[in-house]
Amino acid sequence: MVEEITDEIEETTAETFDVNYACLRCGTVVSNTELSRLPEIKCICGFRVFTKVRPAVVKTVKAV
Ligand SMILES: [Zn+2]
Residues of the chain with pLDDT > 70: what percent?
66
Rg (the chain; Cα; Å): 14
Model confidence, pTM: 0.56
Ligand 1 mean position to 8 CA, how many Å? 27
Specify the length of the chain in residues: 64
Task: Using the mean position of ligand 1's atoms as its centre, give its distance from the Cα of residue 59 in Å.
Answer: 27
3-class secondary structure, 22: strand
Name the band, by pLDDT with cuts 50, 70 and 90, for residue 28.
very high
| pLDDT tens-digit readout, 41-64 | 899 999 999 999 876 666 677 887
d(CA 43, CA 20): 13
Name residues with Cβ closer than 5 Å to ligand 1, which is an ion.
Answer: 23, 25-26, 28, 43, 45, 47
Residue ranges covered by each domain of the chain = 2-53
What is the b/e burial string over 15-45, where b = at least 16 CB atoms within 10 angstroms of the residue's CB?
eeeebbbbbeeeeeebebeebeeeeeeebee
